[in-house]
């Protein structure tokens, strides 16, 4: 077991998710997951931008 998921394992996981949440709830869950990922990316880009601006200011001060 090298840590790779095969086709059978993925199908099994999807079947369990479908049984737990039902067909109607899955699109809502995926939408929420997508929004969360988008917010995380935006926040990390903002953090990188703030870090770059801080580096520029510290270089200019020297």
Given a contact cutoff of 8 angstroms between Cβ atoms, the answer to whether 17 and 26 are in contact is yes
Q: Which domain holds residue 31?
A: 7-61
47 pLDDT more than 90: no
Mean of pLDDT values over 30-52: 83
Is 1 within a domain? no
Is 2 within a domain? no
Model pTM score:
0.48
Per-residue pLDDT reduced to its tens digit, 3-28: 788 899 989 998 898 888 888 888 88
Which of the four pLDDT bands, split at 50, 70 and 90, describes residue 62?
A: low
Which of the four pLDDT bands, split at 50, 70 and 90, describes residue 57?
A: low
Indicate the number of domains in the chain. 1
């Amino acid at each position: 077991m090298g840590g790779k998921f095969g086709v059978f394992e993925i199908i099994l996981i999807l079947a369990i998710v479908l049984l737990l949440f039902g067909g109607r709830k899955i699109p809502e869950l995926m939408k929420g997951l997508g929004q969360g990922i988008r917010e995380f990316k935006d926040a990390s880009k903002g953090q990188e931008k703030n870090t770059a601006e801080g580096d520029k200011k510290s270089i200019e001060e020297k």
